[in-house]
Amino acid sequence: MSVEELYQSPWNFLGLPEELARPSRARGWLLPIPYESTTSYGAGTREGPAAILSASRQVELYDQEYDCEPATEYGIHTLNPLGLVHRSPEAMVKAVEEAVFGIFSGSPHPEVLAVLGGEHTLSTGVARGLARAMPGERLVSVQVDAHADLRDEYEGSPFSHACAARRILDVCPVFQVGIRNLSIGEAAFCRGSKRVRTVFSEEANDPRGSFLEDLAEFVRNKRVFITIDLDGLDPSIMPAVGTPEPGGISWERLLQVARTVCLHAAQVPVYDVVELAPIPGFRAPDFLAAKLVYKLFSYTLVKRKKRTVSKRRSRHE
Amino acid sequence: MSVEELYQSPWNFLGLPEELARPSRARGWLLPIPYESTTSYGAGTREGPAAILSASRQVELYDQEYDCEPATEYGIHTLNPLGLVHRSPEAMVKAVEEAVFGIFSGSPHPEVLAVLGGEHTLSTGVARGLARAMPGERLVSVQVDAHADLRDEYEGSPFSHACAARRILDVCPVFQVGIRNLSIGEAAFCRGSKRVRTVFSEEANDPRGSFLEDLAEFVRNKRVFITIDLDGLDPSIMPAVGTPEPGGISWERLLQVARTVCLHAAQVPVYDVVELAPIPGFRAPDFLAAKLVYKLFSYTLVKRKKRTVSKRRSRHE
Amino acid sequence: MSVEELYQSPWNFLGLPEELARPSRARGWLLPIPYESTTSYGAGTREGPAAILSASRQVELYDQEYDCEPATEYGIHTLNPLGLVHRSPEAMVKAVEEAVFGIFSGSPHPEVLAVLGGEHTLSTGVARGLARAMPGERLVSVQVDAHADLRDEYEGSPFSHACAARRILDVCPVFQVGIRNLSIGEAAFCRGSKRVRTVFSEEANDPRGSFLEDLAEFVRNKRVFITIDLDGLDPSIMPAVGTPEPGGISWERLLQVARTVCLHAAQVPVYDVVELAPIPGFRAPDFLAAKLVYKLFSYTLVKRKKRTVSKRRSRHE
Amino acid sequence: MSVEELYQSPWNFLGLPEELARPSRARGWLLPIPYESTTSYGAGTREGPAAILSASRQVELYDQEYDCEPATEYGIHTLNPLGLVHRSPEAMVKAVEEAVFGIFSGSPHPEVLAVLGGEHTLSTGVARGLARAMPGERLVSVQVDAHADLRDEYEGSPFSHACAARRILDVCPVFQVGIRNLSIGEAAFCRGSKRVRTVFSEEANDPRGSFLEDLAEFVRNKRVFITIDLDGLDPSIMPAVGTPEPGGISWERLLQVARTVCLHAAQVPVYDVVELAPIPGFRAPDFLAAKLVYKLFSYTLVKRKKRTVSKRRSRHE
Amino acid sequence: MSVEELYQSPWNFLGLPEELARPSRARGWLLPIPYESTTSYGAGTREGPAAILSASRQVELYDQEYDCEPATEYGIHTLNPLGLVHRSPEAMVKAVEEAVFGIFSGSPHPEVLAVLGGEHTLSTGVARGLARAMPGERLVSVQVDAHADLRDEYEGSPFSHACAARRILDVCPVFQVGIRNLSIGEAAFCRGSKRVRTVFSEEANDPRGSFLEDLAEFVRNKRVFITIDLDGLDPSIMPAVGTPEPGGISWERLLQVARTVCLHAAQVPVYDVVELAPIPGFRAPDFLAAKLVYKLFSYTLVKRKKRTVSKRRSRHE
Amino acid sequence: MSVEELYQSPWNFLGLPEELARPSRARGWLLPIPYESTTSYGAGTREGPAAILSASRQVELYDQEYDCEPATEYGIHTLNPLGLVHRSPEAMVKAVEEAVFGIFSGSPHPEVLAVLGGEHTLSTGVARGLARAMPGERLVSVQVDAHADLRDEYEGSPFSHACAARRILDVCPVFQVGIRNLSIGEAAFCRGSKRVRTVFSEEANDPRGSFLEDLAEFVRNKRVFITIDLDGLDPSIMPAVGTPEPGGISWERLLQVARTVCLHAAQVPVYDVVELAPIPGFRAPDFLAAKLVYKLFSYTLVKRKKRTVSKRRSRHE
């Protein structure tokens, strides 16, 4: 055993060896943003990114769906966490926008960027940065969430976590899945807006999954930003969120949504996974989130293979 | 912004504004009873009411099932917690009986009273108080529970939490749903008694839900006291109970049971939700319980609308 | 009340009275092995046996499936925990082998031995001890697990928890259920080995459960060692494991697997339940594990009755 | 027992009866501000006020130091929590300023206002509101803290929790006690500024307590705003803070500081107790904080009696 | 290694080998009473006895103070936990009385009985049982506690945990150490009663410890029942109690109190250690309690040696 | 703000910028060894290194004792964690030895190496590696610990955590501070061996600290390996250890010990800080450990300055 082999892998997503984690080699990049500022209940999303990174070191590289170790093919570079800006949520959103724009404008730059939250507020910055880096008409967003997040302002801020989808709508249309908590005003807004399509949890949980066809249509030939608020999942498997709502979607359904998007979209340059608020001593949610982030890297970066595989699964995907 | 608008809503269920929470205005009242005395394992139900109240402040007032904010229509008054009596469980049961009788005999009084436990023992007092306040033949009880609670005495007391259903049976017939833990004596009692109908968890979880027809029949034109021991739910969504038994019913099935009762009963003047033993740092169960209490207020107080809605759902309801 | 009746039952599995827990009377014995040494993440399996014993005292003796209190018929003797050997995992495996061999070679000896882990490493010792005590060709093993555990060496040891199934394979063929995490090398091994049959979680979760027929065939007329790594279950009901993987099997499916084995096998002299890492303040997993251990005692010791019952349930069992 | 006596006391600080808690009767008012926004590590101060209120209900009204139940003499009114403003920390500071100014300008108004945090940022608003409500030269502030909090900006905001004392210095001189964590820039600022006097933890812990004389001089005939960041206490008794620093002051020393200030100051119209981040399942810190808040009400509202008592204690006070 | 040596020691206090734990051999007996019924806040004392037993297995048998393994000299028998009676607190007190009387009246019987709580209510039963078993004038009690527990009734019961000392006073005089929480009525009772001597925490913490001389006088030539409510200790080392009050006594002072009593008393036939409410995941308090119980066995059972040792320590003991 | 400034500091001890953390620049290196294998009770030391690194990012670089930011002068390089070897504790000890030897034999190499545990077993490897890398007669070890750790074998292994000091004694003499838990055999060994000097906790806590002179003598002109088992500290400030023993030393005394050693020794090339078992949700111990590691770097690498400072403090140092 050489001296190097005495040591464990470095601190990065999946604990990849340095050569797979260099920016110049890695096709997927990961940006942790441990930002939490506007949450009203159930603090802790600032600990989310660190918990996902820590859990990811136990995720097996091998993926049965692909029968290989996808990460060793595409490589993943883990950026240092984004610095916090506490002047205002708007200032933080701006910092995220700058970072995302800077990442895609720089060289080398990733094919796919995954962002780890932190609270949902940061997704606004992600959408803005992406729209600036890749201008044009084709951008749409797919949101998995328990909450519509369509308020125009909340607790005095238009950049509250409760306004995340509304601010993304300023940038592009949104397809929402798993919603089961919204205000009367948001319900009215849903009905009135042509830019948002809301699949409530009852429909999202229907075993037939007919909404997946609509979703495929929505993303077809588009550039898609996927934003996953983990509270879209059912609390039985994802209790580590601020306001866990009963009636959420399952792990399997979430993967179906992700596969459907990645199959039919022209490109998925960015996705984020937000609102993990780790529960001390309770690791299952951190582990699930880490596995989800890895799955999404593979769905977005190993598109062709997946298509073959998933054809055998479901007509809608 | 006026000075008043600087402040949050007061400390009450759902954080309603004062005008909706006054006894004279509110059609629903809420009585917390943080009583725990005879539990043998897994303490903490005395923290249940406070946890439900705290979580309720994050529950969205808007309810998709009704497409409105039902609580702003009926109003909810939150009583101070009932004082504890530790002379004996029987004395506490008597205090609960007095309180419930007093509430319904007083003026103003609620249309529907929700009681938050605390241990299941207190349900005996609720049943007795209700029977005294509204005498007659029509009272029946519907119990959701993992345990039959049909012992005649347990650990030296006929008022143990393990005797809750047996003591309610002294007052009226009982329909039990979700049972999966009982003693050999209780099993014999079930078979022998005509006043109790026990739907074991296997039947309760059957997707077809045929027992819902029996349930509808049981409550038809009756005055119903619903008593929900949260351990009737599956531990995957409700781990915060003293003895969490695998194999419980789902959130959706529990709502079906509640809707069925409220549709077919003549009146549901009281329900209780008991045995929440909050797990420090783990909020999902508290949140689910708060949402359940709100749902039950709506099912019992906004009956007509619901009927319309639910017809579209299921033949049995 | 006599003086004796003043006291609770002694400290043993299910809190059985002394007369049912004596080695000479009890047909089922329980051996706790609080061993944990090679775990890399999520420590705590050394607390597993004590947590299961503690929770078991709240498990109701009556079992609806049998309509009796099975434990009062067969009796259960709880051994003192096995002493730990920290010279090396191999030395501990040897100690376990000696203990299991000693238990079956001694007099009195149990019909069925349940072993409580501790980490999965100890199952190797169980298999070896059993093979020595009951030599012959008929031994096979059924493993429920999230991980294939088929590595030949891990972190420098061929006796790591990650090699458990590979070491059991040295002794007898293995049928694996619920696998959803394996390395590329293990995947290749699965395909290449005739001695291992791997039912991945997707197949294991299929509602039709067709793999149960293969399982019945695999165990028919064999002597079976059942080894249950609790992470085979879904994290929604079993989060208290080191690396909780989403997509596991349900409580009901696990019982089906156990019933199928016990119906068709010639004999199930030993089973183990391993890798419970209790989460402080969170009891549901401990309780589920305790109930599982009791169910398995009944399935293995009250075979005939169960056959009758389960025929009514499922064709495959 | 009358019907009223059946119920517990209402939800307010100490669980006082309504007549002692009315604004018109109560000489002390309590304002909870569950604000947390700029914290970088160890979230949870937004849960602080609710935890203090909950624990206060177990605090005994009787105080040996006064040999009476002081709260029944002066009364305490608990305000609803201040609404959160998440437009920016500055906007929240402004809201706090408005609230404090409004409280002292209104009628009735308290003699002493206690503010419960929440993060230290809010103290800036308290100081500003107080200075506006009671203009003049006499205002000074006494800060107990582990951190100097003298940065002019932190993470992009001049209103970060790490700038709390610097922003108070904009309003009035500050006397700091217990400091043991500061940056090189803050250390230079301490040396250079005449408006701040810093008692580092080593001096603060000296058994002779000679700094108490300086403190008495500092506050003599002044109007004092006391701001207590609970991390000034030693982590052995106050672990429930974001960054617990070893080497803090004791409970007894903290009371000495408070008594000294209240004895020698002309007036102490406001104090705050901030940065409690409750640890799930660990109540001792919540309880200590509740007791501290009560003690401070008594020290500020029952001044004469205390003087007599404390003379017997220590020359410095 | 023989087969027996493969196993760990049995489940009893300190994990003693069977021969030291037999009733006929052991001079010290241990009675766990996991009773909790009248607690209002901070549940969990029913878990106390099990936590102490579990932690005791890690306590080293060797004691430096004696330079030997005292337990191997006197032996300790661990009884099964006392059964719970939930008819009323009074009925439980009666059961405890019967148990204690039965233990001392039986044969064999212990020289010293240690009782593990559970809530303080049970101490009344201990005192009554002891007085019945050993009648005469010489019985006195020494209480370590944060609370005076001198109420005549609390929450409707004269047997509440808050009345523990008052009920013991019905049996014998009481010397209280560490008190820092009492009601105005209790304060008046203290001043008026000749049967109770209260050492408040300020005096109890005085480094000179002059109250130890009074204590020595109080117990001289008496038969003493020591009752230790663990909240008498400071929360920094004993946070695992229902209402942790700052300002408690230290571990060293508690041992001084115990040594003083055991040196000067004629006999200490019983002591209890109550009110441990284990905090999930936090073992230090359980460990301290286990060590305390062991120390007290040695102080009471190895009296002579200790006298020699402690003479070298302190004049007061 | 440049793009780089958008990001937080990298993942290393103290979150130092890359240029201070490069091996060629840094005079101090840090080696995490998350090894845990032979622990019998209170698992979790494998999480210790990650918790210390995480907490260190909140430690202020400025140190009042030096009035500068010492780390920016000497720099610290954080190595990847050492790989685990689970063949046997002896094999892991060998791996540690190889790593330590390799680090000091390589180029660049550190002036001071800090090792983070993990269990105490690894200290044997550290001592061996150091002795090989710097042969000669001058090596001695100073151990802070609650346990003597002088057993020659424990649970079948001479490399158990309970044998750590005995194995270090095979390499060099040992000075132990804070011991308060040992077996009768270890007590005899202490008395009989000239190579070990044991300062029991009573002496270690004596305010006069006279043992510090002996300690100064012991290390004078020696090469010293400091090994700190965190359970040497009092549980009030360090509850996060496997077996927390009441009566430990204070934070201030621990710093005095460290300063004394560093002042009088010729060289302190290695120290380790072991046995932190983080308590979920409870950060104070992690933070203390991180601060301790930083303090020790400064004491060992900024020797001269410290000497000046500490002269003003204590004659013994």
Given an 8 Å threshold on Cβ–Cβ distance, is F80 in contact with A11?
yes
pLDDT tens digits, one per residue of D212-255: 999 999 999 999 999 999 999 999 999 999 999 999 999 999 99
Q: What is the mean pLDDT of residues F150-171?
A: 96
Q: What is the mean pLDDT of residues E112-118?
A: 97
Q: What is the mean pLDDT of residues B249-270?
A: 97
Q: What is the mean pLDDT of residues E42-58?
A: 92
Interface with chain B: mutation pick from E37, E87, E155, E275, highest number of B CBs within 10 Å: E87
- Residue A177 carries which DSSP code? E
User: Which amino acid appears at position D273 of this protein?
Assistant: V
Do B118 and B49 contact (CB within 8 A), yes or no?
yes
Core vs surface per residue C238-257: b (16+ CB within 10 A) or e: bbbbbbbbbbbbbbebbbbb
Sign of CA dihedral A9, A14, A18, A19: positive
pLDDT tens digits, one per residue of C54-105: 999 999 999 999 999 999 999 999 999 999 999 999 999 999 999 999 999 9
User: Which amino acid appears at position C91 of this protein?
Assistant: A
D175's enclosing H/E stretch is: strand D174-179
Given an 8 Å threshold on Cβ–Cβ distance, is A8 in contact with F82?
yes
Q: What are the tokens at F89?
A: 């504790």
Residue of B nearest to E154 (CA): B86
Nearest CB neighbour to B246, from listed C57, C69, C251: C251
Residue of D nearest to F282 (CA): D279
- Whether the per-residue pLDDT at C305 is higher than 70: the answer is no
B304 band by pLDDT with thresholds 50, 70 and 90: low
Place of tokens 């701006």: A94
pLDDT tens digits, one per residue of A279-305: 999 999 999 999 999 999 999 999 654
Closest by CA to A146, choosing from A200, A211, A186, A218, is: A200
Q: Tell me the backbone φ, ψ of residue A112, rounded to 5 degrees.
A: -135, 135
Against chain F, the chains showing at least 3 CB pairs within 8 Å are A, C, D, E
Interface with chain E: mutation pick from D68, D251, D313, D314, highest number of E CBs within 10 Å: D251
Given an 8 Å threshold on Cβ–Cβ distance, is D184 in contact with F288?
no
pLDDT at A306: 45
Lowest mean pLDDT segment, chosen from A1-10, C28-37, E148-157: A1-10
Q: What are the tokens at A142?
A: 């797919």
Place of tokens 């903290």: D254
The answer, yes or no, to whether the previous bond of F108 is cis (omega within 30 of 0) is: yes
Question: CB-based burial of residue B7 (10 Å sphere; 0-12 exposed, 13-18 middle, 19+ buried)?
Answer: middle
- Whether the per-residue pLDDT at E305 is higher than 80: the answer is no
pTM: 0.95
Nearest CB neighbour to E182, from listed D62, D236, D252: D62
B37 in helix, strand or coil? Answer: coil
Share of chain F above pLDDT 90, in %: 89
Given an 8 Å threshold on Cβ–Cβ distance, is E38 in contact with B90?
no
- Whether the per-residue pLDDT at F306 is higher than 50: the answer is no
Against chain B, the chains showing at least 3 CB pairs within 8 Å are A, C, D, E
pLDDT at A38: 83
Distance from CA of C243 to the nearest CA of E (A): 19
CA distance B306 to F309: 77
Q: What are the tokens at E55?
A: 């932690």
Q: What is the mean pLDDT of residues E171-185?
A: 97
Nearest CB neighbour to A102, from listed F3, F79, F282: F3
Q: Give the distance from CA A82 to its chain's centroid.
A: 16
Q: What is the mean pLDDT of residues A170-184?
A: 97
3-state secondary structure A211-239: HHHHHHHHHECCEEEEEEEHHHECCCCCC
Distance from CA of C64 to the nearest CA of F (A): 38
Nearest CB neighbour to F280, from listed A84, A102, A280: A280
Q: What is the mean pLDDT of residues C42-54?
A: 91
CA distance C174 to C197: 7
Interface with chain B: mutation pick from C56, C66, C279, C287, highest number of B CBs within 10 Å: C287
- Whether the per-residue pLDDT at E297 is higher than 90: the answer is yes
CA distance A4 to B288: 50
Distances (CA, A) of E83 to C165, C287, E29, E164: 44, 22, 17, 20
Distances (CA, A) of C93 to C38, C88, C105, E3, E7: 12, 9, 18, 15, 14
Do E16 and E59 contact (CB within 8 A), yes or no?
no
- Whether the per-residue pLDDT at C17 is higher than 50: the answer is yes
pLDDT at C39: 77
pLDDT tens digits, one per residue of B186-230: 999 999 999 999 999 999 999 999 999 999 999 999 999 999 999
Distances (CA, A) of B89 to B126, B156, B265, E154: 14, 11, 31, 15
CA distance C117 to C123: 9
Mean pLDDT, all residues of chain B = 93
Given an 8 Å threshold on Cβ–Cβ distance, is C157 in contact with F47?
no
Q: Which residues of A touch F33 (CB under 8 A)?
A: none
Mark out chain B residues that contact chain C at CB-CB < 8 A.
Answer: 40-42, 180-184, 186-187, 200, 234-236, 239, 243-247, 279-282
Do D38 and D121 contact (CB within 8 A), yes or no?
yes
Nearest CB neighbour to B239, from listed C69, C234, C284: C284
CA distance D121 to D154: 12
Do C86 and F154 contact (CB within 8 A), yes or no?
yes
Q: What is the mean pLDDT of residues B144-154?
A: 97
pLDDT tens digits, one per residue of F118-136: 999 999 999 999 999 999 8
Place of tokens 């049959």: C197
Beta strands C112-117 and C139-144: pairing type? unpaired
Q: Count H helices, E strands: chain B? A: 12, 8
pLDDT at E3: 60
Closest by CA to E287, choosing from E297, E298, E278, is: E278
Helices (H), chain C: 18-21, 48-56, 70-74, 89-105, 122-133, 164-169, 184-192, 201-205, 211-219, 251-264, 284-301, 303-311
Q: Which residues of F touch E61 (CB under 8 A)?
A: 183-184
Nearest CB neighbour to A284, from listed C180, C186, C244: C244
